A and B are shown apart, each in its own frame.
Chain A
Amino acid sequence: MPSIDYVAPTSVNDAVAALAAASGNGRVLAGGTDLLVQMRTGQITPQTIIDIKRIAETREIAESDKAFVIGAAATGVEMSAHNGLKTTFPGIVEAMDLIGSQQIQGRASPGGNLCNASPAADCVPALIAAGATCTIAGPNGTRDIPVEDVVTGPGQTCLSQDEFVVSFTVPKPPPRTGDAYLRLIPRTEMDIAVVGAGVCLTLDDAGVCQAARVALGAVAPTQVLVADGAAALIGSTIDETALNTLAAAASAACNPIDDKRGTVDYRKKVAGVLATRAAQKALERAKA
């Protein structure tokens, strides 16, 4: 392996400058659980590694009246230990917690999960369902965009070569909101999602759904926001009719691959089933 450079900037601006200086041959390092594997196998050969973990903004999990701000390089262990986040968005925390083993949890970050841009990334559908945005820093300052706009295809994001994700902002939801993320894997631990489904919904005091977002993973080149699935829930009490419409919409939204882990038909079917179950779990949480 040719010799490469490692830098660990302590400010957002210094990190952007390091990315710009690397002119396309730089790679952001968060937990390294994707990056170091890809370097090892020769899939990628960066010349400069820019470790963002010494930048305070990428590490903090902050709660205000309005929102949770989750540092892009916060770890799964840190997210699971944050009681406020866990209570308000158990779906996001559970989705992150599904990633790999305890060893991986000590390093893996939501920013890495998003920017690695795997269609099967577990934390991403949960963030999309919860309406999260991300703050992207670059030479011209920062911009905020919805999480669902970041990934453009397998391994591809809309970030330019001198930009990186600093943090996620998840607005505090109204009362009677619940979220959930479920995935199907052939084993019980340590596997890649065949289908993942995230749902976040809000009820009024009569139990009628006022707002909903449904996102699927592993069933298309990018995560999919299933708008007509959400529309099926809104205005209903999440009854059987609404859930059936949701399941059909989720199946129809899939554009999956056919591989040894699941055929196209199987993934479509399971997407409907998981979206339904995630909606039921989110409903229970919204009522609790």
Chain B
Amino acid sequence: MTKQHITTSVNGESVEYLCEAQQTLLDVLRDELGLTGTKEGCSTGDCGACSVIVDGNVVCSCLMLGAEAEGRQIETIEGMATADQLHPLQKQFLEQASLQCGFCTPGFLVAAKALLDKNPDPTETEIRFWLAGNLCRCTGYDKIVRAVQDAAAEMRGA
């Protein structure tokens, strides 16, 4: 069957690719576009390691087809830092040691960014519910939650 020719936007840049119908957006990001910051944990929507933002909503890129991305705006972990500056969430994750093996970290950062884009001042409960679809086998979550709270405060200028 014919490959799909897709034009989309990834981290603000227009991107074109060819993909098979059954390739997920995660497959496309990693294998076709070389954006390997987005991780594959489970491929069944349970772990959140593959989180990306599509048209403002955080989704699992393992549960979206690459072919569906036509005309969408996609944000991945690679787009979070600027050339010379880490995102406040990235800085806080580093400062507070919110990662150990780091496999879950891109997914947490992207999901947390989607939260702070919508809600600059979330409560701890809101943060924990929002991040319930991101699993971490190392940290025990507390340091992640604190880093999100502190990054939120920093971004509010508090």
Q: Is the interface of A mostly helix, strand, loop or mixed?
A: loop
Q: Are A103 and B59 in contact (CB under 8 A)?
A: yes
- Residue of B24, B65, B131 near A29 (CB, 8 A) is B65
| Cβ contacts under 8 Å, B115 to chain A | 102
User: B133 — nearest CB in chain A belongs to which residue?
Assistant: A101
A106, B60: Cα distance in complex, Å: 9
Interface centre among A51, A53, A75, A102 (most CB of B within 10 A): A102
User: What is the CB-to-nearest-CB distance from A183 to chain B, in angstroms, rounded to a whole number?
Assistant: 15
A201, B106: Cα distance in complex, Å: 46
Mark out the residues of chain B between 64 and 111 whose CB falls within 8 Å of any chain A CB in the assembled complex. Answer: 64-65, 67-68, 70, 111
For residue B158, CB closer than 8 A to chain A, the reply is no
User: What is the CB-to-nearest-CB distance from B43 to chain A, in angstroms, rounded to a whole number?
Assistant: 6
A49, B133: Cα distance in complex, Å: 26
Q: Are A106 and B57 in contact (CB under 8 A)?
A: yes
Mark out the residues of chain A between 103 and 158 whose CB falls within 8 Å of any chain B CB in the assembled complex. Answer: 103-104, 106-107
Mark out the residues of chain A between 1 and 57 whose CB falls within 8 Å of any chain B CB in the assembled complex. Answer: 1, 3-6, 8, 29, 31-33, 36-37, 39-41, 49, 51, 53
Q: Are B45 and A33 in contact (CB under 8 A)?
A: yes
For residue A207, CB closer than 8 A to chain B, the reply is no
For residue A264, CB closer than 8 A to chain B, the reply is no
For residue A173, CB closer than 8 A to chain B, the reply is no
Q: Are B111 and A103 in contact (CB under 8 A)?
A: yes
Q: Are A101 and B65 in contact (CB under 8 A)?
A: no
| Cβ contacts under 8 Å, B32 to chain A | none
Mark out the residues of chain B between 101 and 138 whose CB falls within 8 Å of any chain A CB in the assembled complex. Answer: 111, 114-115, 129-134
User: What is the CB-to-nearest-CB distance from A105 to chain B, in angstroms, rounded to a whole number?
Assistant: 8
Q: Are A6 and B4 in contact (CB under 8 A)?
A: yes
Q: Are B57 and A51 in contact (CB under 8 A)?
A: no
A100, B58: Cα distance in complex, Å: 13
User: What is the CB-to-nearest-CB distance from A192 to chain B, in angstroms, rounded to a whole number?
Assistant: 12
For residue B54, CB closer than 8 A to chain A, the reply is yes
| Cβ contacts under 8 Å, B65 to chain A | 6, 29, 32, 36, 49, 51
A106, B72: Cα distance in complex, Å: 14
A6, B133: Cα distance in complex, Å: 28
Q: Are A102 and B21 in contact (CB under 8 A)?
A: no
A4, B130: Cα distance in complex, Å: 35
Mark out the residues of chain A between 175 and 222 whose CB falls within 8 Å of any chain B CB in the assembled complex. Answer: 189-190
A103 in contact with B68 given A5-B1, A36-B62, A190-B133 (CB within 8 Å): no
For residue A257, CB closer than 8 A to chain B, the reply is no
User: What is the CB-to-nearest-CB distance from B144 to chain A, in angstroms, rounded to a whole number?
Assistant: 15
A-B contact pairs, 5 of them (CB 8 A): A3-B1, A33-B45, A39-B22, A51-B67, A189-B129
